[in-house]
Amino acid sequence: MDIHEYQAKEILAGFGVAVPPGALAYSPEQAAYRARELGGDRWIVKAQVHAGGRGKAGGVKLCNNDQEIVDACEGMFGQRLVTHQTGPEGKGIYRVYVEGAVPFEREIYLGFVLDRSSQRVMIVASSEGGMEIEEISAEKPDSIVRSSVEPAVGLREFQAREIAFALKIPPALTQQMVRTLMGCYRAFRDLDATMVEVNPLVITSDNRILALDAKMTFDGNALFRHQQISELRDKSQEDPRESRAADRGLNYIGLTGNIGCIVNGAGLAMATMDTIKLAGGEPANFLDIGGGATPERVAKAFRLVMSDKNVEAVLVNIFAGINRCDWVAEGVVQALTANPVDVPVVVRLAGTNVEAGLKILNESGLPIIAATSLMDAAEKAVAAWRGENGGDKVHYIKAGAN
């Protein structure tokens, strides 16, 4: 789960990371008022969206007076900010964050991520802050400092000092840098984050180290332990299909293709998408219904897939171990009976209670395209989507197929 910049800064400030004073606004007039409250003579107005690259896309504006703040906000509110991370659809702007402009001497990149290969928290830092880490890695790889944290002891102060020395932080500011590193690490560890990024972390003209921008991402599977983090979720920044799936306990990721997928198991779901691509089609989603799917859960998954208007065919691929084919079949029948669809449905069942599942589908009288293997299912789904079944897209499941 992602959160907004202002939320990440509030969290990091609670762990001892220094951030500039700022205030949230929901209208141009409120933004101007917030600037007057903050004081000063120059302000930064930042669109609050879950995406990087806001500055290049026009989502960050430097303003010198109330009118410039109002004009900047009027150009943001209600618009969709398109960056390299949002895709062409962009993200809606419904709130802005106003900060006093901070003169600074240096920009630093600082990130904490999970390194799955070493199974440790990896600290990535660079003296080339203000750039995206992908750009830094491509253009100035020698500037990147990496340090992994031993999980048994956590980040130690000597390790934080080594990072500060590698970044050539002035000796007088080393302790501030150590405090910043330790605070970011504690926030990462204590709140089950999967990423903490401060870019840029700056050294100001009056010798302070401040986090001018911040991002945090959290492990969705650990949110039950952190109610205060769950409450920061902003559904307006999420794919509505993924929001509906999350609210129903389903693992769903929306894609841009036309063939909807209902699969049990993440590995099989990925294999199904790859096979659809191999057969010449494009998957519309990743959907894992889990290992213990009930008929009601399968029906929910079916309705979720069909809520995507781009779906022109559906492939149900179930290999039942913990799951049961008869449960899946009952869910498909339940979904298609309650909400008939006008797109072809391909079903491939294998494993536990496959005969019972196939019998349920056969006796339902529903038009189903039978498949005997994953490749066969993918090819038939693509052919049905293209209307290549000789003008007849309907075949019935026959009991005994596998």
Q: What is the DSSP string of 143-174?
A: GEEEEEEPTTT---HHHHHHHHHHTT--GGGH
For the record, the structure tokens of 373 come out as: 């293997």
Helix (DSSP H) and strand (DSSP E) numbers for the chain: 13, 18
Q: Say which DSSP state 142 is in.
A: G
The whole-number pLDDT of residue 340 equals: 81
Is the Cα dihedral 214, 217, 222, 227 positive or negative?
A: positive
Residue position matching structure tokens 């990535």: 124
Residue position matching structure tokens 């031993």: 150
CB neighbours of residue 294 within 10 Å:
16
- For residue 102, say whether it is annotated as part of any ligand binding site: yes
The whole-number pLDDT of residue 324 equals: 82
For the record, the structure tokens of 182 come out as: 């330790």
The whole-number pLDDT of residue 210 equals: 96
The whole-number pLDDT of residue 388 equals: 64
The whole-number pLDDT of residue 293 equals: 60
Among 5, 6, 97, 109, the active-site one is 109
Q: Which of 307, 306, 322, 304 minimizes the C-alpha distance to 268?
A: 322
Query: Quick check: is 197 catalytic?
Result: yes
Chunked into runs of 10 residues, the chain (402 residues) has average pLDDT values of: 95 96 96 95 95 88 95 94 84 94 94 91 91 82 91 94 95 96 97 95 95 94 91 83 72 89 89 95 89 72 86 90 80 81 88 88 84 92 79 40 38
Distance CA 47, CA 54 (A): 7
- For residue 129, say whether it is annotated as part of any ligand binding site: no
- For residue 323, say whether it is annotated as part of any ligand binding site: no
The whole-number pLDDT of residue 242 equals: 74
Contact assessment for residue 327 and residue 279, using Cβ atoms and an 8 Å cutoff: no
The whole-number pLDDT of residue 298 equals: 78
If phi > 0 it is left, if psi is from -120 to 50 it is alpha, else beta; for residue 58 that is left
Distance CA 191, CA 127 (A): 27
For the record, the structure tokens of 104 come out as: 């600074």
Which domains are seen in the chain, by residue range?
Answer: 21-100 (3.30.1490.20), 104-229 (3.30.470.20), 240-386 (3.40.50.261)
Residue position matching structure tokens 């789960």: 1
Cα distances (angstroms) measured from residue 239 to each of 66, 91, 266, 300, 308: 34, 10, 20, 17, 11
The whole-number pLDDT of residue 390 equals: 40
The whole-number pLDDT of residue 264 equals: 84
The whole-number pLDDT of residue 398 equals: 40
Among 197, 312, 330, 379, the active-site one is 197
The whole-number pLDDT of residue 291 equals: 63
Contact assessment for residue 84 and residue 74, using Cβ atoms and an 8 Å cutoff: no
